Amino acid sequence: MPAGDEPGGAPSPATDAACALLDAFVALGVRHVVVSPGSRSQALALAAADLERQARISLHVRIDERAAGFTALGIGRATRVPALVICTSGTAVANLLPAALEAHHSGVPLVLLTADRPPELRGVGANQTTAQPGMFGSAARFAHDADVPAGADGEGAEMRTLAARAFVAAAGEAVQGVAHLNLPFREPLAGSLPAWFAEGRSRGGAAVSAAQALLPDPPEPVTLEPGPRTVVVAGADAGADAEVIAHQGDWPLVAEIVSGARFGRRVVHGYRAALADPDLGGGIERVVVVGHPTLGREVAALLSRRDIEIVALRGTDEALDLSGSTTRADAVAVAPGEADREWLGSWMRWSRAHMVDLETAAPDSAALASTDRKTRLGAVRAELEAVRTPLDRAQLVAGVWRATWPHDRLVFGSSRLVRVADDVLAGKKVPVHANRGLAGIDGTIATALGIALASQADGEQGMTRVILGDLAFLHDVGSLLLPDDEPRPRIQIVVGNDGGGTIFDGLEVARVAPPGAMDRVQLTPQSADIAGLAHAYGWEHVRATTRSELDQALTAAAGATIIEVPLDR
Mean of the pLDDT values across residues 36-46?
Answer: 97
Q: Which H helix or E strand runs over 309?
A: strand 309-313
Q: At what angle do helices 13-28 and 42-53 cross, to 10 degrees?
A: 50
pLDDT tens, position by position, 176-232: 999 999 999 999 999 999 999 999 999 999 999 999 999 999 989 999 999 899 999
Neighbouring residues of 391: CB distance < 8 A, sequence distance ≥ 6: 399, 544, 545, 546, 547, 550, 565, 567
Mean pLDDT value across residues 311-327? 94
The confidence band for 385, taking pLDDT boundaries of 50, 70 and 90, is low
User: Does the bond joining 188 to the residue before it have cis omega, within 30 degrees of 0?
Assistant: yes
Which whole number is the average pLDDT over 126-144? 94
Counting residues of the chain whose pLDDT is more than 90, the rounded percentage is 82
pLDDT for the residue 501: 80
The pLDDT value recorded for residue 251 is 97
Closest CA relative to residue 115, chosen from 101, 99, 132 = 132
- Residue 313: pLDDT over 70: yes
> 455 vs 36, 271, 490, CA distance in Å?
22, 31, 10
Cβ neighbours of 61 (radius 10 Å): 19
Report pLDDT for 511. Answer: 85
pLDDT of 339 over the 70 cut: yes
Assign 6 a pLDDT band (cuts: 50, 70, 90). very low
Amino acid letter at 551?
A: D
**Is residue 8 scored above 90 in pLDDT?**
no
Query: What per-residue confidence (pLDDT) applies to 143?
Result: 98
Mean pLDDT of the chain: 93
CA–CA separation, 207 and 111 (whole Å): 16
pLDDT score of 390:
84
Question: What value does the mean pLDDT take over residues 555-569?
Answer: 91
pLDDT of residue 360: 64
User: 222-353 maps to which CATH number?
Assistant: 3.40.50.1220
384: pLDDT confidence band, cut at 50, 70 and 90?
low
The per-residue pLDDT for 321 is 94
* pLDDT confidence bin for 370, thresholds 50/70/90: confident
Name the pLDDT band for 371 (thresholds 50, 70, 90).
confident
| pLDDT category of residue 375 using cuts at 50, 70 and 90 | confident
pLDDT, average across residues 362-371: 70
Over 90: is that where the pLDDT of 569 sits? Answer: no
Separation of alpha carbons 23 and 30, rounded Å: 9
Q: How far apart are CA 518 and CA 155, in angstroms?
A: 58
Between 81-90, 373-382, 513-522, the lowest mean confidence (pLDDT) is in: 373-382
Question: What pLDDT is recorded for position 359?
Answer: 73
Q: Averaged over 113-130, what is the pLDDT?
A: 92
Which positions ≥6 away from 487 have C-beta within 8 Å? Answer: none
DSSP 400-426: HHHH--TTSEEEE-SSHHHHHHHHH--
361: confidence class by pLDDT, cuts 50, 70, 90: low
Alpha helices per DSSP H over 477-526: 509-512, 515-518
Give the residue, 76 or 377, on which the prediction is more confident: 76
What's the rounded mean pLDDT across residues 226-245?
96
pLDDT of residue 380 exceeding 80: no
Residue 386 pLDDT more than 70? no
* pLDDT band, residue 358 (cuts 50/70/90): confident
- Please report the pLDDT score of residue 2 as a whole number: 42
Q: Which fold has domain 13-214?
A: Rossmann fold (3.40.50)
H-helix or E-strand containing 373?
helix 373-388
What is the structure's pLDDT at 373? 77
Domains 222-353 and 390-566 share a fold: yes
DSSP assignments along 147-201, one per residue: PPP-S-TTHHHHHHHHHHHHHHHHHSSSS--EEEEEEE--SS---PPPHHHHTT-
* Element housing 315 (H / E): none
Instruction: Give the integer Cα–Cα distance in Å for 99 and 555.
Output: 32
Residues 6+ apart with CB under 8 A from 73: 99, 102, 103, 108, 110, 435, 443, 446, 447, 450
Q: In this structure, what are the phi and psi dihedrals at residue 26, rounded to the nearest 5 degrees?
A: -65, -40
The residue-averaged pLDDT of 287-306 equals 96
- Dihedral, CA of residue 443, residue 448, residue 454 and residue 460, to nearest 10: -170
Q: For residue 82, give the nearest of 49, 44, 130, 34 by alpha carbon.
A: 34
Q: What is the pLDDT of residues 529-559, one digit of tens each?
A: 999 999 999 999 999 999 999 999 999 877 8
Least confident of 28-37, 423-432, 555-564: 555-564
pLDDT of residue 98: 98
| Residue extents of the structural domains in the chain | 13-214, 222-353, 390-566
Please report the pLDDT score of residue 1 as a whole number: 41
Alpha-carbon span 283 to 115, nearest angstrom: 56
Mean pLDDT, residues 116-138: 92
| pLDDT for residue 510 | 80
The answer to whether 423 and 272 have CB atoms below 8 angstroms apart is yes
Please tell me the distance from the alpha carbon of residue 1 to that of residue 568, in angstroms, as a whole number.
Answer: 56
Look up the CATH architecture of domain 390-566: 3-Layer(aba) Sandwich (3.40)
Each residue's pLDDT tens digit, 248-274: 999 999 999 999 999 999 999 999 999
Residue 357 CB burial class (10 angstroms; 0-12, 13-18, ≥19): exposed
- Count Cα atoms within 13 angstroms, Cβ side, for 171: 23
pLDDT bucket at 9, cuts 50 / 70 / 90: low
**How much is the average pLDDT of 136-144?**
97
Single-letter amino acid code for the residue at 41: S
Residue 506 has pLDDT above 90, yes or no: no
Q: Report, as an integer, the average pLDDT of 69-85.
A: 98
By residue count, the chain amounts to 569
Percent of the chain past pLDDT 70, that is, above it, reads 95
